[in-house]
Amino acid sequence: MRMAFDRKTEEVRRADLIIGRYKSKPKSTVPSKLRASRNDCATAHCPQLSLCYSLCMSARLLDGLKIRDQIFEELKVETRELAAKGVRPGLAAVLVGENPASQIYVKSKIAACAQLGLASWLHTPPASVATEQLLQLVRNLNADYEVDGILVQLPLPAQVDAKRILEAVEPAKDVDGFHPVNLGKLVSNRPGLVACTPAGCMEILRRYLIPLEGANAVVLGRSDIVGKPMALLLMHANATVTICHSKTRDLPEVVRRADIVVAAMGKAGYVQPDWIRPGATVIDVGTNKVTDPAEAEQLLRNFPERLEKFRAKGSVLIGDVHPDALQVAGALTPVPGGVGPMTITMLMSNTVKAARWRRVSNPAVAGD
């Protein structure tokens, strides 16, 4: 009985803290009656505290498009400064075959180069290309002084050894941040080119002034592209980091202890709202296309406008975190419009950085 009472007291204390934080926000959009009922509910030790959260809280949206625009303006300034020194950063993209999704991604990256005044080149080997042929193309790009960044769009055809191709890219031109040398620099916290998606997540956290030092952070996913570099970046920012994966025991309870949750598992709506500690910051890396009506109904039952759009279009993008987490988290990246825009943004940033390091300054002494 004592333990149950202490647990309830702690829940009420947390509710009071959240209420206080909520009341301090300017220009509240929640009706005064609802704010009053929330306060009455908490002070009365209401047994339905989770319901209070869902009714009364709404996470601050961490807008990746806004951050993208800020960084683009900064990159335009740096690009002009490099141009004054006779340097025009350049990105070479390699698109193998005719994968429709890959074509869209590469087209967006080339368009971003044009927007920022960067040079760009597109190489389109056929889907039948052999590993050795692709390796030769990479060697040629490595030797081209005007090319500062090399992007090999994934996935590659089955007959191509993707690992050999990625490791053939010169580390100084590896703007995707996938090369073992750049991963090693990240481990040792030395200047290098960092994988774009986790670097973008860090920009969102920093520019929205999310406290990182001393925070408990949970990263869901351990891929070389997102999970591992994300954990390292958070650790270097003095967060205490836990990496979770398919073998993690009692995953919901581990996530509930986190001040910051980064979800990168590739499963639509996998992280449930009751896994999120009220007031936590959620970075949702997932971009999952949902086409099944039953799944969409379940995920969007509290979002009628999005559900109507799904019914009209036949598909919807859902993150790795259940959309209802919006009513529990303190801050959250939306899907779409959150982490997604930051990946191309950081690709552009890495290209400009590579040009500066290669052609203007020494990367051994240059800062980030």
The answer to pTM > 0.85 is no
Q: In angstroms, how far is CA 117 from the centroid of its own chain? A: 25
Q: Both tokens of residue 355?
A: 């040009």
Q: Considering Cα of 285, then 109, then 177, then 96, what sign does the dihedral take?
A: positive
* Averaged pLDDT of the chain: 87
Task: Check residue 37 and give its pLDDT.
Answer: 33
Which H, E and C letters describe the chain, residue by residue?
A: CHHHHHHHHHHHHHHHHHHHHHHCCCCCCCCHHHHHHHHHHHHCCCCCHHHHHHHHCCCEECCHHHHHHHHHHHHHHHHHHHHHCCCCCEEEEECCCCCHHHHHHHHHHHHHHHHHCCEEEEECCCCCCCHHHHHHHHHHHHHCCCCCEEEECCCCCCCCCHHHHHHHCCHHHCCCCCCHHHHHHHHCCCCCCCCHHHHHHHHHHHHCCCCCCCCEEEEECCCCCCHHHHHHHHHHCCCEEEEECCCCCCHHHHHHCCCEEEECCCCCCCECHHHCCCCCEEEECCCEEECCHHHHHHHCCCCHHHHHHHHHHCCEEECCECHHHHHCCCEECCCCCCCHHHHHHHHHHHHHHHHHHHHCCCCCCCCC
Question: Who wins on pLDDT, 3 or 312?
Answer: 312
In contact, 118 and 352? CB cutoff 8 Å:
yes
Checking if the pLDDT of 53 tops 50, the result is no
Task: Check residue 256 and give its pLDDT.
Answer: 97
Task: Check residue 190 and give its pLDDT.
Answer: 96
The whole-number average pLDDT for the span 90-119 is 96
Checking if the pLDDT of 259 tops 70, the result is yes
Checking if the pLDDT of 357 tops 60, the result is yes
Distance CA 72, CA 10 (A): 44
Task: Check residue 45 and give its pLDDT.
Answer: 35
Give residue for tokens 């007291």.
9
Structure confidence at residue 199 as a pLDDT band (50, 70, 90): very high
Residues 129-156 pLDDT 10s: 999 999 999 999 999 999 999 999 999 9
Distance CA 338, CA 345 (A): 12
Structure confidence at residue 58 as a pLDDT band (50, 70, 90): confident
Number of Cβ within 10 Å of residue 144's Cβ equals 14
Give residue for tokens 């191709």.
165
The whole-number average pLDDT for the span 316-327 is 97
- Return the active site residues: 109, 153, 176
Residues 268-278 pLDDT 10s: 999 999 999 99
Q: Considering Cα of 181, then 211, then 207, then 265, what sign does the dihedral take?
A: positive
